[in-house]
Amino acid sequence: MSSAELTNTDSDWKLPSQRKVGMICLIITESALFTIFVVAYVWYMGKSLNGPFPKEVLHVPWLASIALFGSSFTVTIAEKFLHKGNRALFHVWWLLTIALGAYFVYFTGAEWYHLIYKENLTISTNVFGSTFYALVGLHASHVIIGLILLSIVVISSFRGKLDPGHSEHVEMIAWYWHFVDAIWVVVLTLVYFISVNY
Amino acid sequence: MASETIVDPDFKVPAPERVGEEGKTWSHVIQNLVFTVDHKKLGLMYIGSGLLFFVVAGIMATLIRVQLFFPRSTFLDPDVFNRFFTMHGTAMVFLVGMPMIFGFANYLIPIMIGTRDMAYPRLNAFGFWVFFFSGLLLYFSYFGAPGLYNAGSAPDVGWFAYSPLTAKAFSRGHSTDYWTLSILLGGIGSLATSINILVTTFCLRCKGMTLGRMPLFVWLFVVVAFLVIIALPPLSACQIMLTLDRYLGAKFFDTQAGGDAVLWQHFFWIFGHPEVYILILPGFAIANEIIPVFSRKPIFGYPIMVAATVMIAFISLGVWAHHMFTVGMTSLGNTFFAISTMVIAVPTGIKIFNWLGTMWGGKLHFELPMIFCLAFLFQFLIAGLTGVMLSVVPFDWQLSDSYFVVAHFHYVLIGALLYTLFAGIYYWYPKAFGRMPNRKLGLWHFWLFTIGFHLTFFPQHISGFLGMPRRIFTYEAGRGWEIWNQLSTIGVIIQIPGILFFVFNLIYSYFKGEEAGDDPWDAWTLEWATTSPPPEYNFEKTPEVRSRRPLWDLKHPDDPDWKFE
């Protein structure tokens, strides 16, 4: 934004960056939103009156989780190459990030297809179904938003619109991606490791 | 209002031609309002639309009181009565309280910290329009199925919308959906504005404006914005769950399928209790600016004030279940929430004593804003005392859902918040329009409204003690409730001319008020350093601050504050 240049003329008067503060606030907001869905999931663990129950239908998504956690590393590596000015490698690693995220979304879709058509678990089957689809779906929607943001970066880079002045924009999108990843740690632990015991 | 078309440097579309004179035609006015990204215009639009919804929701409250004048009255249908108290509560909290405080924040924070505009001007405009359309969406429900005369399909489940009242089986048609979607939309707008406030205050302060030198107003709004971004998402979350319940047959709040109706109450009040602090802290913020200026003394105990505010915000996140003492929690839970509710009175008391300490030995000037602030102190004290009474669990068991509770929170929201909003409007009116509000009209407003307000809500304490339940459209004769209800209704009839005086004063002073000049109250914060009304860019040269009272330093170069800091 341009107003920042108007105010910070002096070098001895340092203020935090707008983008960082804004992204931190957004992440706090999203964390509060996820917290309530997590609480709802925990609250209803083992409260379903009819099946299917988590331990019958849930399988730990090892590959998808590795893909999503790996994409956090690839996005960091891509940022490093952007800083060094190596555009080709930046594109490679950035596209790899997008591919890993896209695989995660594909996996969620396949998992849901399996649950709905093979296991007859829908959002209206029982409270497990309601909370599971709400929580995992909220996370998946955030992955999709993250993918859109990542794609905007790489497309603008291909069109030559990404200059060194945008490094902080790219960094913020990477922050968001890390946040989506961190949420998945919570969701994975809660849904696939803890709730299957109920 | 200044009327140049705004050219945001980021905005690549060629700007429309300059409008020569202020509001030559309606289309110019509309264009000025719709396309603006200026924080001052948006702030005034927030306050203006807040006042609009305030009048509408106030009319509903009046009709409710008229219905309760006689026992067994048939003035309103029961359904219409339910819709009225629901819409009154929802509108007053979400469409009056929130926009009014955001209006003040928008108008004042950038000027107070010496910057040109908010951090994200277009996000700011987005937040306003989203809020505005959420209000329109909520009121559009009146044109629903049975038509306007039977009050349409307006929401009728109370502003708290407890499940299972909201389940498909009990709430047919689309009334609850209007409510849900409107609150979701309004929440998005509030979140956008809050993030904007935080980024603005942290990243755009003028040179020398350290956190310890910010006006208390700005400090309190930082705390409020933090509270909003922590407490509003839970509301959005439970609205999403409710929508899933109603449309996809999810079982979140369906007790037939192992769901839990009390979970909705927890989620709602996890938002709802911080919300009342979101609403009242801006009231404190306005009092923090006005009381020192009209006592001619700097605020007493600035760091303590900030610490108390942060404490209030922190504790307010842990008191939500005191709204649910009668729902059947464990004794341990009841005890915890009772104690935390009592603890929150401590920082609040600190603030009250700090305001008294500010006035102590000062030269009090009884101008309009100060009069409203003094009434605020007195009324907020009463409200706080009834709050502490209600935090005692056995007492709450007796009086929950009675008119005592209604009296308590109306003393908070009207006696404290609305009075400080009036005070703030009178205080910054000269800054916004360059003319002084008329003192005589203001005094009429004050006395009529104050007498009417106390006459309305004080008797409700007594009818609550006598056992009159809330949210019931009528009552039987012979229980000793008639006289108190009649006094309440008469109080409303006295309040109305007070509000009319207020609205008339705003319009009259805009055209006929005396010229105010830049600094009519001889105040000390930065917003008085620029012209009235401020230009688009606020300051010709961004100011530089060396103390908490920059204007004092300017006016008294022989005795500046920064020598003592």
Residues of chain B with pLDDT under 50: 1-7, 11, 13-21, 23
Q: Do A126 and B9 touch (CB under 8 A)?
A: no
User: Are A40 and B252 an interchain contact pair (Cβ–Cβ within 8 Å)?
Assistant: yes
Cα torsion B172, B176, B181, B186 to 10°: value is 170
Count other Cβ atoms within 10 Å, centred on residue B372. Answer: 27
Give the closest of B119, B198, B202 to A1, CB-based: B119
CA atoms within 13 A on the CB side of B514: 4
Take residue B307 and report the two structure tokens written for it: 């610490």
Specify the residue for token string 């009036």.
Answer: B422
Per-residue pLDDT, B14: 47
Dihedrals phi, psi of A156, to nearest 5 degrees:
-65, -30
CA B357 remoteness from chain centre: 26
Contact between chains at A33 and B237 (C-beta distance less than 8 A): yes
Q: Crossing angle for the helix pair B482-512 and B439-465, nearest 10 degrees? A: 160
Pick from A13, A130, A169, A176 the residue to mutate for testing the B interface (most B CBs within 10 Å): A130
**What is the predicted pLDDT for the residue at B150?**
59
Q: Is the pLDDT of residue A29 over 90?
A: yes
Chain B hits for A18, CB-CB cut-off 8 Å, are 119, 199, 203-204
Q: What is the domain partition of chain A in residue ranges?
A: 62-193
* pLDDT (0 to 100) of residue A4: 43
CA distance B264 to B164: 9
Q: Which of A132, A197, A44 has the alpha carbon at shortest distance from B258? A: A44
From the list B305, B311, B307, B300, the residue with the least C-alpha distance to B284 is B305
What pLDDT is stored for residue B81 in this prediction?
A: 92
B115 neighbourhood in chain A, CB within 8 Å: 3, 6-7
Residue A126 has its nearest CB partner, among B120, B245, B257, at B257
Residue with tokens 């004290």: B381
Cβ-Cβ contacts under 8 Å between A and B: the total is: 130
Q: What angle, 0 to 180 degrees and rounded to 10, lies between the N-to-C axes of helices B121-140 and B78-90?
A: 170
Q: Where are the alpha helices (DSSP H) in B11-77?
A: 26-34, 39-67
| CB contact B236 to A (< 8 Å) | yes
Q: Residue B537: name the closest of B104, B8, B126, B17 by CA.
A: B8
Using CB atoms, which residue from B230, B234, B258 is nearest to A47? B258
* B168 touching chain A per CB within 8 A: no
The answer to whether B543 and B529 have CB atoms below 8 angstroms apart is yes
Q: Residues 443 to 502 of B: which have CB under 8 A from any A CB?
A: none
* Amino acid at the residue A145: I
Cβ–Cβ below 8 Å for B260 and A44: yes
Q: Cβ B229–A25 below 8 Å, yes or no?
A: yes
Q: Report yes or no: B115 at the A interface, CB cutoff 8 Å.
A: yes
Distance in angstroms (rounded) separating the CA atoms of residues A65 and A69: 6
CA distance A25 to B328: 36
Give dist(CA A113, CA B99) in Å, integer: 44
| Residue from B8, B38, B251 to probe the interface with A (highest A Cβ count within 10 Å) | B251
- Per residue in A174-191, pLDDT (tens digit) is 999 999 999 999 999 999
> What per-residue confidence (pLDDT) applies to B561?
81
User: Chain centroid to CA B270: how far?
Assistant: 18
Residues paired with residue B515 on neighbouring β-strands, in sequence order: B435
Q: Is the full-model pTM beyond 0.85?
A: yes
Fold (CATH) for A62-193: Four Helix Bundle (Hemerythrin (Met), subunit A) (1.20.120)
Q: How many CB atoms lie within 10 A of CB B301?
A: 17
Span between the terminal Cα atoms of chain B, in Å: 37
Q: Which residue of A has its CA nearest to B240?
A: A134
Taking CA B462 as the corner, what is the angle to CA B457 and CA B463, rounded to the nearest 5 degrees? 85
Compute φ and ψ for A137, nearest 5 degrees: -65, -40
Cα of first residue to Cα of last residue in chain A, in angstroms, is 50
**How much is the mean pLDDT over chain A?**
91
CA B515 from chain centre, in angstroms, equals 29
Whose tokens are 């801006």? That residue is: B282
B200 to chain A: closest CA residue: A18
Which residue in chain A is spatially nearest to B115 when comparing CA positions? A7
Q: What is the pLDDT of residue B10?
A: 56
Which range of A39-53, A97-111, A155-169 scores highest in mean pLDDT? It is: A97-111
| Chain A CB within 8 Å of residue B202 CB | yes
Q: Give the pair of three-digit tokens for residue B187.
A: 């929440």
**CA distances to B355, B426, B428, B557 from B362, in Å:** 11, 21, 22, 22
| B contact residues 238-257, partner A, Cβ 8 Å cutoff | 238, 240-241, 244-245, 248-252, 254, 257
Residue B173 is classified by DSSP as T
Task: Quote the radius of gyration of chain B (alpha carbons, Å).
Answer: 24
Q: Facing residues of B469 across strands?
A: B402
B124, B196 in Cβ contact below 8 A?
Answer: yes
In Å, how far is A18's CA from the nearest CA of chain B? 6
Residue that has been written with the tokens 């002084």 in this structure: B436
Task: List the one residue out of A170, A23, A165, A14 whose CA is nearest residue B203.
Answer: A14
Let me know the angle formed at the C-alpha of B80 by B75 and B84, rounded to the nearest 5 degrees: 105
Identify whether the C-beta of residue B111 lies closer than 8 Å to the C-beta of residue B527. yes
Q: How far is it, in rounded angstroms, from Cα B124 to Cα B117?
A: 10
- Cβ contact, residue pair B233, A32, below 8 Å: yes
Q: How far is A17 from chain B (nearest CA, A)?
A: 6
Q: What's the pLDDT tens digit per position in A145-176?
A: 999 999 999 999 999 888 878 889 999 999 99
What's the Cα-to-Cα distance from A110 to each of A61, A64, A106, A187, rounded to whole Å?
Answer: 11, 11, 6, 18
Radius of gyration for the alpha carbons in chain A, expressed in angstroms and rounded: 20
Residues 211-230 of B with CB under 8 A from A: 229-230
